[in-house]
Amino acid sequence: MAFVYAFDHVHGLPFDEVTGIVGGKGANLGLMTVELGLPVPPGFTISTEACRAYLEGGWPEGLDEEIRRDMAGVEAAMGRRFGDPGNPLLVSVRSGAPVSMPGMMDTILNLGLDDETERGLAGASGDAFAAACRTRLEVTYRDIVGVDEVPADPWRQLRGAIEAVFRSWNGDRARAYRAHEGIPEDLGTAVNVQAMVFGNLGEDSGTGVIFTRNPATGEAVLYGDVLFNAQGEDVVAGTHATEPITVLDERMPEIAAELRGYADTLERHYADVCDIEFTIERRKLWLLQNRIGKRSPQAALRCAVEMAEDPGFPLSRAEAVARVAGLLADPPRATVGRAAAAPVIATGLAASPGVAAGEIVTSADDAVEAAGAGRTVVLVRTETSPDDVHGMESAVAILTSRGGLASHAAVVARGWGIPAVVGAADVEVGTDSITIGNRCYSVGYTLTVDGSQGTVYEGDVAGESEIVPEAAVLLGWALELGIDVGGSESGGATMADTDAEGAGIPLRELAIRALLIKGYANPEGFAPVILSSEDTTAALLGGLLADGLVEPMGPMYKLSADGSLVGEAMLADDTATWGLEAAGAALDAFIPFDQRMKHIVTAWQMHEVDGVPVMNDHADAAYDDAVLGDFAALHGEAGPWVGSLVAGLARMEVYRVRLSRAAANVAAGHHAFIASPRVDSYHNAWFELHEDLIRLAGKTREEETAAGRA
Is the per-residue pLDDT at 609 higher than 80? Answer: no
Return the top range by mean pLDDT from 229-233, 379-383, 655-659. Answer: 379-383
Check residue 395 and give left, alpha or beta (phi > 0: left; psi -120 to 50: alpha). beta
In this prediction, residue 237 carries a pLDDT of 56
Same domain? For 58 and 187 the reply is yes
Contact 470, 304 (CB under 8 A): yes
Q: Give Cβ neighbours of residue 472 (< 8 Å, ≥ 6 apart).
A: 331
In this prediction, residue 647 carries a pLDDT of 86
The candidate with the shortest Cα–Cα distance to 385, out of 361, 362, 367, 412, is 412
Same domain? For 52 and 189 the reply is yes
Per the structure, how many domains does the chain have?
5
Same domain? For 287 and 369 the reply is no
Residue where a domain stops, chosen among 167, 195, 223: 195
In this prediction, residue 8 carries a pLDDT of 95
Same domain? For 255 and 362 the reply is no
User: 293-327: string of b/e by CB count within 10 Å (b at 16+)?
Assistant: bbbbbbbbbbbbbbbbeeeeebbebbbbbbbbbeb
Inter-CA distances, 427 with 52, 399, 405, Å? 44, 9, 17
- The CATH number that applies at residue 29 is 3.30.1490.20
- The CATH number that applies at residue 415 is 3.50.30.10
In this prediction, residue 84 carries a pLDDT of 95
* Mean pLDDT computed over 365-388: 90
Same domain? For 173 and 208 the reply is no
Same domain? For 401 and 478 the reply is no
Contact 212, 264 (CB under 8 A): yes
CB atoms within 10 A of CB 126: 13
Instruction: Compute the distance between CA of residue 375 and CA of residue 393 in angstroms, rounded to an integer.
Output: 14
Q: In the 3-class helix/strand/coil scheme, how is 160-206 assigned residue by residue? A: HHHHHHHHHCCCHHHHHHHHHHCCCCCCCCEEEEEECCCCCCCCCCE
Higher pLDDT, 265 or 611: 265
In this structure, is residue 513 part of a structural domain?
no
Helices 507-518 and 534-546, packing angle to 10 deg: 80
In this prediction, residue 339 carries a pLDDT of 45
Percent of all residues in the chain with a pLDDT value above 90, rounded to a whole number: 56
Same domain? For 191 and 204 the reply is no
Contact 643, 654 (CB under 8 A): no
* Mean pLDDT computed over 558-575: 92
Q: Give Cβ neighbours of residue 528 (< 8 Å, ≥ 6 apart).
A: 658, 661, 679, 680
Same domain? For 423 and 315 the reply is no
Phi, psi of 45 (to 5 degrees): -120, 130
CA atoms lying within 13 Å on the CB side of residue 378: 34
Residue 58 belongs to domain spanning: 1-195
H-assigned helices in 311-384: 317-323, 325-328, 364-372
Angle at 687 between CA 23 and CA 571, to 5 degrees: 100
Residue where a domain stops, chosen among 146, 178, 195: 195
In this prediction, residue 378 carries a pLDDT of 96
Is the per-residue pLDDT at 502 higher than 60? Answer: no
